[in-house]
Structure 1
Amino acid sequence: MSVKALDFNCPDLQLILFELFLSVYLVTVLGNLLIILAVISDSHLHTPMYFFLSNLSFTDICFISTTVPKMIVDILTQNRVISYDGCLTQMSFYVLFGCMDYMLLTVMGYDRFVAICYPLHYPTIMNTCSSVYLLLVSFLFSVLDSQTHNMIALQITCFKDVEIANFFCEPSQIFNHTCSDPFTNTILMYLFIFLFAFFPISWNLYSYYKIISSILKVPSSGGRHKAFSTCWSHLSVVCLFYGTGIGVYLGSAVFQSPGKGMVASLMYTVVTPMLNPFIYSLQNRDMHSALKRLYRITV
């Protein structure tokens, strides 16, 4: 059994895609590694917020590594075929690290919620044990999501020599090739959205509602600005990641447009992990200072 990814025969387009994917991958890996090194090396960043941020950076490296290296090899070898087992493996890790991103962003939202709404109780609530516990729960939930996708994909009986309209084995594209009725596939898409995205999104909406309400009660404009600055980076990443991620599923389920789905999945899989280090380093003073200190140490 084999799966054939979307083909591009134009040599000029292949060269552009090769250079683009390679550049984005290198920037993403290096950027996220810098975030991890900055957090580890700077004692000022040994807090729950940056503990989760460093794990988010590690997850982003793993997330983009499940797809982009295979894309680059495919372009170089002119081979768009991936085995059935390879496709399921890629999809499994793709969902695992994608869901881990979702969960970490949710946990980071909870961290900001406690820090701003209950500042006096923050050291007690967000201690080392609770941070590790939240990380473990996020990982287990992500494994559950990944295995659920795999179990459904393994039920596909006519998944043979098909061509998917994407660069990699994206779940919504795979489910479009099931032998079941298209209406059933649409129900599955909405079910995944509800189970694995509704809770994180709902929690982030609630937490930021409470956060903004608390910030607006701060009497000084300087205090409000400082509080907003600690949340703005996280809110930017949440909107970018959730928007493109849900767009992949909704676009595939409702509009059945391969082109739009491919663009959305590329944004979700490739662009978002690349932008995260820039968003957190440029809009966060503590991280900006830590990166400067890291640069002085290395030089």
Structure 2
Amino acid sequence: MTARKDPRLAVGVDIGGSGIKAAVVDVDAGELVADRVRHKTPEGGKPDDVAEVAATVLAEVLQAGPEPTTGETVGVGFPAVVQHGVTRTAANVHEDWVDAPAAELLTKALGRRAVVANDADVAGLAEVRFGAGRDVPGVVVVTTLGTGIGSALFVDGTLVPNTEFGHLEIDGEDAEKRAADSAREREDLSWKDWAKRLQRYYTLLELLLQPDLVVVGGGVSKKHDKFLPLLDLRAPIVPAQLRNEAGIIGAAVMAAELDAAGPTAGTPAKETA
């Protein structure tokens, strides 16, 4: 009989405009192994304040256990374009995050090496490894419909980071202003009327990328039966499977892979003036 290997455990942190949550994850199974911890994002979302709350969340996760086994790295999903550990934009957090050394700041606050990536990319990674995009070859696009529209692009399972397909133009505006779930709620659109806007958005996305699969996430994906059947694309378009846990799982996977690559892998390059 072959002995069962112990699971590889890592911590994922998901920072959003309203909440900061984290948990220990079995990165081979793509599952949380303990209850997640969640605190509200501090009002204003300034870097030092967010880092302090993230440190509190991490401390509670580590105290509750189990202890991570893959190494000291913590994966962090963040609502921004992230290049080499530096946040280049800021969505639903303070503008001081623009061009902030996020990985360095969070590493100092957390007391462990932090690897930081765009939140949609991290959630997409989880869906491609363990969810709706698992084992799908070719081009997979993962979108999240919420306050805005997040996107993650994969080619044969490899992430193309920091896509911003929520800012494609439809009707002379950013797509997310017209087709995000927040637009449906703000304008009190029926599912049918909202689906017409989504059709225009996804038709444009398909024209530009020719995907083999489109995955739709975000909280509204729980009600996918209300709108996905109304869409007509060449590619299959399916609901995400991991939902609110995707960001934590993807961040943990990212951390585990960086630890496996070695102690200096992924270290942010120093910014030059």
TM-score of the superposed pair, with normalisation by structure 2:
0.28
Q: Which has the higher helix share?
A: 1
Q: Which has the higher strand share?
A: 2
Greater relative contact order (CA < 8 Å, ≥ 6 in sequence)? 1
Which is greater in Rg?
1
